[in-house]
Amino acid sequence: MKRIRIDVITLGCSKNLVDSERLMKRFQDLGYEVAHDSDDVCGEVVVINTCGFIGDAKEESINTILEYVEAKQEGQIKHLYVMGCLSERYLAELEEEIPEVDKYYGKFDWDRLITDLQDTIPPTKPYERYITTPSHYTYLKISEGCNRFCAFCAIPLITGRHTSIPMEQLLDEVKDLVAKGVKEFNVIAQDLSSYGLDLYGKMMLPELIDKMAQVEGVEWIRLHYAYPAQFPYEVLPVMAKHKNVCKYLDIALQHVSDKVLNNMRRHINKEETLALIERIRKEVPGIHIRTTLMVGFPGEGETEFEELKEFVKSARFERMGAFAYCEEEGTFAEKNFEDVIPQEVKDARLSELMELQENISLECNEQKVESVLRVVVDREDEDYYVGRTEFDSPEVDPEVLIEKTQSLEIGEFYNVKIKEALPFELIGEVCND
């Protein structure tokens, strides 16, 4: 008897991806065939895991839903379900505007889809997942929600208050994934810094990372989305102590001007920001910091933008992304500030900032030429093997193009001598010494 196929389509961030993987594992344990982001969506059932963070993401989610509504009407699929952030926030509106969807689920009740399709509840453990990434790396989500309530951000309106996953469950998940071949863990949360406050009464990120690092088989641990205010400094000695904790920290700073930071409700000022960066670099020598900055937020005049540019020049972030402010309904900024900066001004500032960063990125990469770095191989292209160093997170950071002088194994680590540097790529060859 042919198994029913379920196609899952994930939009948005890696936190959404983890939810999709958990859903797929439950379906797999019930005997369904599962596929993720397939180029050939042909299952009887399609599940779209939506994003509702910013305008472009919402538009992509709506367009994807409409695409598969049409596929359903044409008989290409039988059932269409929608879950995730967009339907968590706009459930009533979606049900009214796009009634062709069989059923909508939110961000936290997606497991009801399983019992709606089949009465049987699978014996799947809460943390078990169907891994959709290359088998050697994955994302480890350690909490949901956020208590920070930054003026521009709609995420707390979608995900609610910060809720940590118990440490014991996370360590069980790590051990389970290691047994399945995972070597690299990208630790993610909306706010890493607050991990444990709700469960243990104190920030427990340092203890969690320390315990993870001691699990045999864990080769790399990388930290994403720390919050700068009330930063858990105790995690820095843990990073310095363990070789398998990557010298990498993703910490979104957003701005440096006191005026803009205050308008953003970031709970930190310029002096504290500079001290934070200095201490991180001092306690973890060689660390690569990834940050995200925002241009065009209310209150950012030419003076504040020049201050931001000088900050980027002096801080010399190894990894940096930026985006232009976009007003989100229901946020503090939408209710309290006028979005008066013209879009063309925002776009010009964004381009100027990223041009600055491209030069900094190139200079940082050029410092790696002639050095030997440990690289994990992610895939094989026609002309190169493509890998990453400990300083590079999947999909968002530079890659290492490894010349094909010998056969390499996907998912294995090699010492690579860097021969050439580009702004967002390194080129090298395996060093057999």
Residue type, 95: E
Give the largest CA-CA distance in the chain.
69
What SS3 state is found at 196?
coil
DSSP secondary structure letter of residue 147: S
Kindly state the tokens that stand for 157.
Answer: 């309106």
Kindly state the tokens that stand for 420.
Answer: 């050439």
CB-based contacts of 67, cutoff 8 Å, min separation 6:
none
Number of Cβ within 10 Å of residue 243's Cβ equals 12
Exposure of 322 by Cβ count < 10 A (0-12 exposed, 13-18 middle, 19+ buried)?
buried
Using only C-alpha atoms, the chain has a radius of gyration, in whole angstroms, of: 22
DSSP of 236-294: HHHHHH-TTEEEEEEE--B---HHHHHHHT-S--HHHHHHHHHHHHHHSTT-EEEEEEE
CB-based contacts of 196, cutoff 8 Å, min separation 6:
164, 167, 202, 203, 204, 205, 207, 208
- How far apart, in whole angstroms, are the C-alpha atoms of residue 312 and residue 360? 9
**Which among 303, 353, 283 has a CA at the least distance from the CA of 325?**
353
**Which among 289, 296, 29, 20 has a CA at the least distance from the CA of 131?**
20
Give the chain's residues under pLDDT 70: 1-2, 433
Give CA 79 to chain center in angstroms. 29
Are 260 and 300 spatial neighbours (Cβ–Cβ below 8 Å)?
A: yes
- How far apart, in whole angstroms, are the C-alpha atoms of residue 258 and residue 304? 9
**H/E segment holding residue 375:** strand 372-380
- How far apart, in whole angstroms, are the C-alpha atoms of residue 133 and residue 17? 9
Query: Which pLDDT does position 247 carry in this prediction?
Result: 97
Are 210 and 240 spatial neighbours (Cβ–Cβ below 8 Å)?
A: no
- How far apart, in whole angstroms, are the C-alpha atoms of residue 381 and residue 401? 9
Query: Which pLDDT does position 283 carry in this prediction?
Result: 97
Give CA 149 to chain center in angstroms. 19
Query: Which pLDDT does position 2 carry in this prediction?
Result: 62
Query: Which pLDDT does position 423 carry in this prediction?
Result: 87
**Which among 322, 258, 246 has a CA at the least distance from the CA of 289?**
246
CB-based contacts of 244, cutoff 8 Å, min separation 6:
213, 218, 219, 220, 221
Q: Give the position of tokens 């041009």.
A: 355
Are 298 and 112 spatial neighbours (Cβ–Cβ below 8 Å)?
A: no
* pTM for this entry: 0.93
**H/E segment holding residue 310:** helix 302-315
What SS3 state is found at 425?
strand
- How far apart, in whole angstroms, are the C-alpha atoms of residue 361 and residue 293? 15
